[in-house]
């Protein structure tokens, strides 16, 4: 998943939902991406990696 | 007490001078200007040695540089927060506390800046030499107590901060959230880039940037009782999940997901890009009231 400033990779597969309307004191126009994983039959490690874009 | 507070500010300050990356009044200009005032007052206190003087002067100058680079400008010369300087419009106001006011908060900033002038180098025969910030070299600090505990780490070209949990009454406000709260990386020209945005001001419902457990529609939010940093700069937040009423998730839920410590690993130079990883580990089961201890 890629935005203007950030690229996010994740595993295992997930559904993604994007919501705007957030603001911090450093950025008044934030978009939030929410990832949802369904329960897995066995324990496993989830990885989320995000990279800033120059 | 002043020296302890000033030393904590020296340790928590990001390499770009940022001292307001989480919590109420996030990134307010007066946080920087009071930091300048406090740092210079600390250096003037009897008993401050050359090393502490250098640290405090470094903190003061870096805070002033950030004020210039991220807040200065506009019709009145100063924006109270960087988002207003960036011109995001009415939406930017929703990222501020209801108590924030341009007149009053600018006044606070100007007043403390004026006070700091009395402590400035220009009034001294010999300017104080500036030392280094804690964040200028590789290392880590763990600050605060309880749920406000947080760690700052500098490793190579990366600097980041990880927080334990929102305190009582703060679970609706993502600015107090658990987890990675700031992450900056040094560009080739020496300036610093925010790799992740700071967390937004929210107030509607209990929330977290996650990871959130929601197996049956009843949300559980992450928290930590402790935050630790190892020699490689890896921060481990030791805790688990709790319901929005603050109850640690019961064993039945824990057995399904086995919530445990959440690690944040900074890959450093081995990384091909400006990356960070959040790796919720399901390997350590909860113990007691949800504090899965990993040593």
pLDDT of residue B251: 46
Give the distance between the most distant pair of CA atoms in chain A.
41
What is the C-alpha to C-alpha distance for residues B273 and B268, in angstroms, rounded to an integer? Answer: 9
Could you give the CA distance from residue B176 to residue B244 in angstroms, rounded to a whole number? 15
Interface test with B, best of A1, A25, A30, A49 (most B CBs within 10 A): A25
> Which chain A residues have a beta carbon less than 8 Å from that of B193?
52, 54
User: Smallest Cβ distance to B200: which of A24, A44, A45?
Assistant: A24
For A12, the 3-state DSSP assignment is coil
pLDDT value at residue B89: 77
CA-nearest of B94, B101, B100 to B202 is: B94
Give the C-alpha distances (Å, rounded to integers) separating B256 from B279, B290, B293. 18, 14, 19
Question: What is residue B66's three-state secondary structure?
Answer: helix
If one counts every other C-beta atom within 10 angstroms of the C-beta of residue B12, the result is: 24
Instruction: Enumerate the residues of chain B whose CB falls inside 8 A of the CB of residue A49.
Output: 275-278
Q: Which of residues 185-224 of B touch A (CB under 8 A)?
A: 185, 187, 193-202, 210-211, 214-215
Residue in A5, A26, A29 closest to B91 by CB:
A29
Q: Residue B186's pLDDT is what?
A: 92
* Beta-bridge partner residues of B139: B154
Q: Is the pLDDT of residue A52 over 80?
A: no
Cβ-based contacts of B210 with chain A (< 8 Å): 34
Strand partners, B21: none
Residues of A in contact with B211 (CB under 8 A): 46
Q: Which of residues 91-150 of B touch A (CB under 8 A)?
A: 91-96
pLDDT tens, position by position, A7-40: 888 888 999 999 999 999 999 999 998 999 887 7
User: Cβ separation of A22 and B202 shorter than 8 Å?
Assistant: yes
Per CB-CB distance under 8 Å, the chain A contacts of B31 are none
pLDDT at res. B228: 87
Cβ-based neighbours of B165, under 8 Å, separated by 6 or more? B147, B178, B222, B223, B224, B239
Which 3 state secondary structure label does DSSP give B152?
strand
Mean pLDDT by 10 residues, chain B (295 residues): 95 98 97 96 90 95 96 91 87 92 94 86 69 95 94 92 91 94 92 92 92 82 88 83 84 38 40 40 29 31
ipTM here: 0.89
Interface probe, candidates B197, B210, B255, chain A, greatest A C-beta count within 10 A: B197
Pairwise CA distance, residues B282 & B261, whole Å: 8
Please report the DSSP string for A21-49 in residue order: EE--SS-S-EEEEEEE-PPPSS----EEE
Strand-pair partners of B239: B224
Model pLDDT, residue B122: 58
CB contact under 8 A, B195 and A47: no
3-state secondary structure of A1: coil
CA distances from B118 to A34, B27, B113, B207, B209 (A): 49, 24, 9, 44, 43
- Which residues, numbered 14 to 33 in chain A, qualify as contacts with chain B under a Cβ-Cβ cut-off of 8 Å? 21-30, 32
């Amino acid at each position: 998943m890629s935005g203007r400033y950030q690229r996010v990779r994740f595993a295992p597969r997930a559904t993604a939902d994007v919501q705007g309307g957030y603001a911090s004191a450093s950025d008044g126009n934030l978009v939030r991406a929410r990832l949802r994983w369904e329960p897995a039959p066995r324990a496993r490690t989830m990885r989320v990696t995000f990279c800033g874009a120059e | 007490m002043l020296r302890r507070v000033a030393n904590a500010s020296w340790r928590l300050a990001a390499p770009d001078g940022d001292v307001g990356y989480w919590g109420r009044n996030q990134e307010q200009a007066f946080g920087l200007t009071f930091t300048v005032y406090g740092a210079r007052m600390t250096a003037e206190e009897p008993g401050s040695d050359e090393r502490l003087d250098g640290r405090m002067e470094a903190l003061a100058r870096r805070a002033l540089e950030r004020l210039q680079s991220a807040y200065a400008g506009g019709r009145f010369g100063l924006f109270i927060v960087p988002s207003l300087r960036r011109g995001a419009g009415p939406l930017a106001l929703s990222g501020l506390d209801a108590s924030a006011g341009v007149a009053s908060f600018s006044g606070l900033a100007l007043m403390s800046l004026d006070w700091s002038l009395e402590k400035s180098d220009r009034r001294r025969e010999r300017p104080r030499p500036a030392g280094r910030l804690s964040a200028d070299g590789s290392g880590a600090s763990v600050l605060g107590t309880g749920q406000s505990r947080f760690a700052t780490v500098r490793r190579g070209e990366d600097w980041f901060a990880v927080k334990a949990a929102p305190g009582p009454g703060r679970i609706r406000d993502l600015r107090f959230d658990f987890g990675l709260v700031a992450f900056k990386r040094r560009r080739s020209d020496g300036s610093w880039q925010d790799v992740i945005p700071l967390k937004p001001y929210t107030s509607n419902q209990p929330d977290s940037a996650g990871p959130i457990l929601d197996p049956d529609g009843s949300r559980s939010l992450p928290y930590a009782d402790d935050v630790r940093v190892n020699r490689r700069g890896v921060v481990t937040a030791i805790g688990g999940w709790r319901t929005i009423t603050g109850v640690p998730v019961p064993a039945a839920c824990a057995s399904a997901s086995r919530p445990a410590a959440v690690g944040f690993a900074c890959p450093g130079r081995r990384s091909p890009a400006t990356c960070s990883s959040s790796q919720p580990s399901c390997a350590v089961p909860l113990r007691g009231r949800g504090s899965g201890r990993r040593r």
